[in-house]
Amino acid sequence: MPSRDAMRNTIVSVTERPEFANIVAEWMLRAFGTDIIRSEKALCADLRRPLSTLDRTFLLLDDDTPIATASLSREDALAYPAQTPWLAGVYVKEDCRNKRYATAIIRHVEDFAASNGAKEIWLYTKTAADLYRKLGWSAVGSRSTFYKNAVLMHRQLCP
């Protein structure tokens, strides 16, 4: 039987719950800066209306309170146009870290990508390479246009 905590958690797309777009935009700006994000207003609009199936932002809710987010993006690194899709914008509220929420939302994005035809998925990380390795990701490089000292990682989704 699932624990009480597991039963309270749900993952939804921001498209389904647009009232949370501002919170997600605030987290992304705080965590990833304004160097790669145009503006909070533009980001909120993108979160509410994804451009395609492979552009989707998810939110992990605990009793309807947002605690984590992650996105699937068709493109996240202009230096690698052939690689797609990308896991991007993984963020967990500071007071909710180290409780496996990142793992849950990452797995959700991977499953969503696979169910929509993706055979593989990519990401960049500056701080969480060890977490991604534990989840089956492989480091394949370290060059990036947007992030200095970031690790490029890859995960095969389907055989």
Q: Per-residue pLDDT tens for 84-137? A: 899 988 999 999 999 999 999 999 999 999 999 999 999 988 889 999 999 999
For the chain, first and last CA: distance in Å? 31
Average pLDDT over residues 3-13: 70
Angle between helices 21-32 and 40-48 (to 10 degrees): 130
Given a cut of 90, whether residue 146 has pLDDT beyond it is: no
pLDDT in tens, 45-74: 777 776 677 789 999 999 999 999 999 987
Higher pLDDT, 47 or 15: 15
Tell me the Cα Rg of the chain: 15
